[in-house]
Amino acid sequence: MRLIPVLTALLVMVALYLGVLKRDELMAIAHAASPSAAEPGTEAAAQDGGNEADAVRAVGVVAVHSVAQSIDTAVVLRGQTQAARQVEVRSETSAIVISEPLRKGTFVKKDDVLCKLDPGIREATLGEARAALAEARSQVPATAAKVEEAKAMLEEAEINYVAADKLKASGYSSETQLKSARAAVRSAEAAVAAATAGGDGTQAAIESALAAVAAAEREIARLTITSPFDGLLESDSAELGSLMQAGSLCATVIQLDPIKLVGFVPETEVGRVEVGTQAGAQLVSGREVAGLVTFLSRSADTTTRTFQVEISVPNPDLSIRDGQTATIAISAAGALAHKLPQSALTLNNDGQLGVRTVEDGNVVAFMPIKLLRDEVGGVWVAGLPEKTDVIVVGQEYVTAGVRVTPTFREAAQ
């Protein structure tokens, strides 16, 4: 009972094998066996039958006559917003906070007070330094007078020495008197040197007192910690009564106008980006912003081999926050591209993205492409000749080298 189904299956397999794989051979045997095959005048009929057979075997596809157009391309990146500046304002001295704290989110202007510290004995130290300076300066007239007095004594001693020398030459003075006059000159010279050194010491005392005054004034200036620029407080300022040490955090200030868009350009695209070009971005909220490229790194990241790019975007109302994700598009030079339906794209056996085209003789060819832009009405691709016939329906059922029967339609459809 089971033999009949098995025989039936075998007969079906043989019929399929002969009908599909050996079709040409069977057709040739049939034509050879036909009596009309050898009759005169039937050669043209046989050729017509062959052409009809080829037409039957050709696959029907739908194609479009595509012509390349010039479009503006863009370098598209993923990035995020970043504050133009962010500073942790810290104390330079130790003291108790005596000012009320400012709360996070407060807008501050440049030089607004963030933290004020207790001066302690710093005012007294400054007064002491100023008194020392005044005392040192008061010594200047007395020192100058001593120098002048010493110089006058030196002049007198030199005159006496010249007179004693002349008297000695005339025989009216002894050798002892001449040596005594010479000694007086040397003593006067020493007095001048001592008075001059005293003047230098007075000047050194003045310089030291000035340094002490400047240090005391600088220490007092450190008691008032101010904002370095206009911005927002990202944290509360130091609490009233807290002890600030040198290096303690007073507040964190960020500047959001303008704000930066930061992304990373692949090394294959970095040559298309230039500083000063227009750029735009879409935030995750859907908001679109625009700005200019202000920085392009000259050094690649060692891990990702990408180059950092920064775009400056106006943010007068501070509505764009630091750290928002954004899709960035940087303007680049235009290029010739074809706009095709996304369904026309396919893959070859090697997994390469491309399209299938109709070449001379209605033979299919595969052409790799590069995606430039994705729009609602289709995709813009590069890598194709300026004019080409692209298969848009049936491309998945044919391969390179297959003959097709194309039906053309308008590219806009």
Give the span between the Cα atoms of 343 and 393, in whole angstroms.
8
Domain boundaries, the chain: 3-57, 63-70+335-409, 122-221, 253-331
Residue 404, classified by CB atoms within 10 Å of its CB into exposed (0-12), middle (13-18) or buried (19+), is: buried
Please give the average per-residue pLDDT across 162-184, as a whole number.
Answer: 74
Going by C-beta distance under 8 Å and a sequence separation of 6 or more, which residues neighbour residue 405?
55, 58, 59, 60, 61, 362
The C-alpha atoms of residue 143 and residue 203 are separated, in whole angstroms, by: 10
- Residue with more model confidence, 169 or 260: 260
Q: Which residue has the higher pLDDT, 335 or 413?
A: 335
Its pTM stands at 0.55
Q: Is 1's pLDDT higher than 60?
A: no
Q: In this predicted structure, what is the pLDDT of residue 45?
A: 40
- Whether the CB-CB separation of 239 and 95 falls below 8 Å is answered with no
Distances (CA, A) of 391 to 60, 97, 348, 394, 405: 10, 77, 14, 7, 11
Is pLDDT at 11 greater than 80 in this prediction? no
Does 76 have pLDDT greater than 90? no
Angle between helices 122-170 and 175-221 (to 10 degrees): 170
Across 25-39, 49-63, 119-133, least confident range: 25-39
Among candidates 319, 325, 331, which has minimal Cα distance to 262?
A: 325
Question: Looking at residues 75-102, what average pLDDT do you find?
Answer: 93
pLDDT computed for residue 215 by the predictor: 92
One-letter amino acid of 178: L
Residue that has been written with the tokens 């794989």 in this structure: 21
Q: What pLDDT was estimated at residue 53?
A: 47
CATH superfamily to which 253-331 belongs: Efflux pump adaptor protein, beta barrel domain (2.40.30.170)
Domain 63-70+335-409 has CATH 3.30.428.10: no
**CA–CA gap between residue 253 and residue 110 (Å, rounded):** 10
Q: What is the pLDDT of residue 25?
A: 61
Do residues 253 and 229 lie in contact, with contact meaning Cβ atoms separated by under 8 Å? yes
Name the residue with tokens 């507040």.
251
Fold held by 122-221:
Four Helix Bundle (Hemerythrin (Met), subunit A) (1.20.120)
Residue 395 DSSP symbol: G
Check residue 152 and give its pLDDT: 81
Q: Return the CA Rg of the chain.
A: 49
Share of the chain above pLDDT 90, in %: 43
Task: Give φ, ψ of 50 to 5 degrees.
Answer: -65, -40
Answer yes or no: is pLDDT of 16 > 60: yes
Cβ neighbours of 115 (radius 10 Å)? 28
Band (pLDDT 50/70/90 cuts) for residue 44 is very low
Q: What is the DSSP string of 254-308?
A: EEEEEEEEEEEEETTTGGG--TT-EEEEEETTS-EEEEEEEEE-SS--TTT-EEE
More confident residue, 327 or 182: 327
Q: What is the chain's mean pLDDT, rounded?
A: 83
Residues pairing with 90 in the sheet = 249
Per-residue pLDDT of 265-277, as tens digits, reads 998 888 888 899 8
**Measured between alpha carbons, how far is 133 from 196 in angstroms, rounded to an integer?**
20
Write the CA distances from 275 to 176, 313, 328, 391, integer angstroms. Answer: 92, 14, 15, 41
| E-strand stretches of 97-185 | 107-108, 113-116
Confidence band for 191, pLDDT divided at 50, 70 and 90: confident
Count CB-CB contacts under 10 A for residue 386.
10
Q: Which of 296, 265, 249 is nearest to 86 (CA)?
A: 249
Tell me the C-alpha distance between 391 and 402, whole Å. Answer: 13
Residue 70 burial (10 A CB sphere; 0-12, 13-18, 19+): exposed
Per-residue pLDDT, 170: 73
Predicted confidence at residue 55, as pLDDT, reads: 47
Q: How confident is the model at residue 331 (pLDDT cuts 50, 70, 90)?
A: confident
Residue 46's pLDDT band (boundaries 50, 70, 90)? very low
